Chain A
Amino acid sequence: MKKILFLVSVIAVALAVSCKSAVSTDMTAVDMTKAPTDVAAWEAQVNADFQPVLDSLGTDNAAPAMSAFDGKYGSSLVRDFNSQISRQARFSSGPSSYPTLTDMPFNRDGAVYLSGGSADLVGSVIGWVAPKNLPGSYFHGAALDLNKYDPNNLDAPSLETAILKGAGYETANDWRGKVNACVLNPNFSVNQASLDSAQSALDYYCKPSNTNMQYGFFKGYVNIFNVVTKEDTYYWYCTKVVWSIYNRMGVDIDSNSSAVDFTKSGLYSLVKTYYNTLYFYSSSKANNAINAYVTDTRAKIVLAEEILLSPKLTKVYEKIRE
């Protein structure tokens, strides 16, 4: 009996220690009524406490990590980020319960496919990074390689995109099962040889031994303060693959449209909370930092809604079911 009690105690202590270290060493509420006397120490403390939030994104630890940060700094991450911290894995995919989109066209080489819908996340990371203010809530993208589209085998890999470990392809059946989807055709004269070359020459194909490539928007995976540029060939995500194909043909399909409201993304919630906490004593300093971040990110990242609004592309198909 004593042995069992001892074992239970050891496990309980181990669990308590591991849970505590996963979040923070000290998450007691802090005094934020007056400006810090030691600004450097304050910023170091906020950064240390914010890191577990970043590390937990897309995992089951997100809610407790955000809750702990909210408890200490009086922020509202859990409320603001509620829809983003579901129990979805960082990367997951699966069929929707909606009927198959049997009328989706697959007939134009290089056509751009965008999808959205909460039950259809290819990766929750892009799900919370992407602003979703337009109908369809698009966040995922792929480009059709018509040469690989087999009308008698809809499970053939034929749409170029990026997946967790690198270069990946999706199938017509994958796309016919999306919740919300649209198809955009280039509205300019496409040089076929140039398109073929662009489709087969993306930098993101790498050898398994080559670790110089990752999925994501940020250096250090979810370090939101290191946004990578579209031109970078180290980090890849689905809409960047689409953009890159067109960029190789000399066409920029990143509209950077002001209609894409970055304040409607989970990323903005994080950034706002971070800077409002870091500079709680100066709203102008916080706002400047937030605005600078959004401006910089808008230019560096290419997201589904920015492609949707590209004047170089024309929407030829759309089904919004959620």
Chain B
Amino acid sequence: MIDRRTRLARVRAAVLRTTVLATVAFFCVYALTCLVSCERGKRNQSPAVNSTASVFQLGKAIREASPLAPVLFTPEGDVRQRGIARLPDGYLYWDHAGQRLIRADARGKTVKSEPLKAAFVWVMGNELLARGENFSDGEGFRFTLYRYDGSLKETWSGFLDCFPSDVLIRDDGIAFVAGGNRDNSGKAIYRIRAGTKTVKALALPIAQDFLRLVGTSTAIVAFASGREKTKASLELYELANPKADESAFAKVELGGFPPGALDFYGYGFSYLDDPVVPVAMDDGSVALARLGRDGAGFSVVSLAHNSLGCILPLGNGASGETYLYLAYDGRKDGAWYGLGVYNGSACLVETIK
């Protein structure tokens, strides 16, 4: 039997613990709300056309990655997510229907258009990766890397048996293409660099999942995002030296996830040079786990709950202390999209109207 005094002490401790946790949570959300308000204020002070914020496509419109996700312009043709980038003085986007690359000015008006035939084009600043339409037996899709400096310059082209699930192009022009193969037997990450042999930097068996990439200033980490929110092993792979031609990804230790973490689910990004990965929880939600160095591996530094899913990392917020992402969870609502603001330990998501 526990005496009354002990029971009372336990209750007091529980109340104190709850109060402290609630206070910390309150201040986290409050700080995030302040940051969002601050960014809104900054946005209101300057016209959108002068902003350096990332842009993204949703529906027929191009929106800015800033609070309320304002519509900037309605582009020509059919622009896909990951198919548009903001340049210092305008936009560069690929029109899927018209099979053209379009250079637009700061108001979204077309200033140059040139043919670019492809099934899909990733536009990342001035770097582009195009995937051809046809799959050729024994070879795959044709991929072509371009650099845009007023006109398209092809820097690399080749075939890969790869159905891309993520693409990362570094500032130095080295590209990484991750995806599964045609017969669904394996997934891989290819390292592409003009003038050098394409390297398979990671090869794994496929398990109804899709490889994702997160680049930091010194490394690239990779993880597999599940098709369903079911229990799977949370494994992380790291490429410690992306510049080295023959370097390969290696599995690294990963710890610190709470018992309710099921699987990676969605896309990750880098926050203040720390990898942030999306984790499906056993209550059906998706949390964002910030990873920090822990010996030779990584461990969870903080877990931001209720991210509502991250399908498109957008970029840093105006304050530099937040990261914005397109929130979507088709398993919950195929019609809902939100703009997520992440501050390293919590997220706030606004419905995009």
Please report A residues at the B interface, Cβ cutoff 8 Å. 93-95, 100, 102-104, 145-158, 163-169, 171, 173, 196, 200, 205-208
Contacts and interface: CB of A to CB of B under 8 A. Distances in A.
Contacts of B82: 155
B133 A163 contact: yes
B133 A149 contact: no
Given A158-B163, A168-B135, 5 more contacts: A94-B97, A153-B166, A164-B133, A169-B163, A205-B136
Contact of A152 (B96, B97, B311): B311
B56 interface: no
Q: Does more than half of chain A's interface fall in helix, strand or loop, or is it mixed?
A: loop
B223 to A, nearest CB: 12
Nearest to B81: A155
A153 B97 contact: no
A200 B334 contact: no
Contact of A207 (B81, B137, B180, B210): B137
Contact of A168 (B134, B138, B139, B184): B134
B260 interface: no
29 contacts: A94-B96, A95-B96, A100-B59, A146-B227, A147-B180, A147-B208, A148-B184, A150-B165, A150-B210, A150-B225, A150-B227, A151-B331, A152-B225, A153-B210, A153-B311, A156-B164, A163-B133, A165-B133, A165-B134, A167-B135, A167-B136, A168-B119, A168-B134, A169-B119, A171-B120, A200-B183, A206-B137, A207-B138, A207-B139
Contact of A151 (B81, B182, B227): B227
Contacts of B206: 147
A242 B286 CA distance: 35
A205 B266 CA distance: 31
B77 interface: yes
A102 B225 CA distance: 22
A88 to B, nearest CB: 13
Interface of B: 59, 77-78, 80-82, 96-97, 119-120, 133-139, 163-166, 180, 182-184, 206, 208, 210, 225, 227, 265-267, 309, 311, 328, 330-331, 334-335
Contact of A95 (B97, B225, B266, B309): B97
A155 B137 contact: no
A112 B185 CA distance: 23
Nearest to B59: A100
A296 to B, nearest CB: 31
A148 B206 CA distance: 11
B133 A168 contact: yes
Contacts of A103: 334-335
Given A145-B184, A150-B210, A155 B80 contact: yes
B266 A152 contact: yes
A35 B126 CA distance: 70
B180 to A, nearest CB: 7
Contact of B136 (A154, A164, A206): A206
Contacts of B208: 147
Nearest to A153: B165
A157 B184 contact: no
Contact of A102 (B81, B136, B166, B335): B335
Contacts of A164: 133
A207 B80 contact: no
A200 B331 CA distance: 27
A104 B335 CA distance: 11
A157 B136 contact: no
Contacts of A147: 180, 184, 206, 208
- Closest CB pairs A-B (n = 7): A94-B97, A205-B137, A102-B335, A102-B334, A200-B183, A147-B184, A95-B78
A104 B134 CA distance: 25
A94 B77 contact: yes
A158 B330 CA distance: 16
Contacts of A148: 163, 180, 184
Nearest to A101: B334
A316 to B, nearest CB: 15
A181 to B, nearest CB: 14
A151 B120 contact: no
A155 B330 CA distance: 13
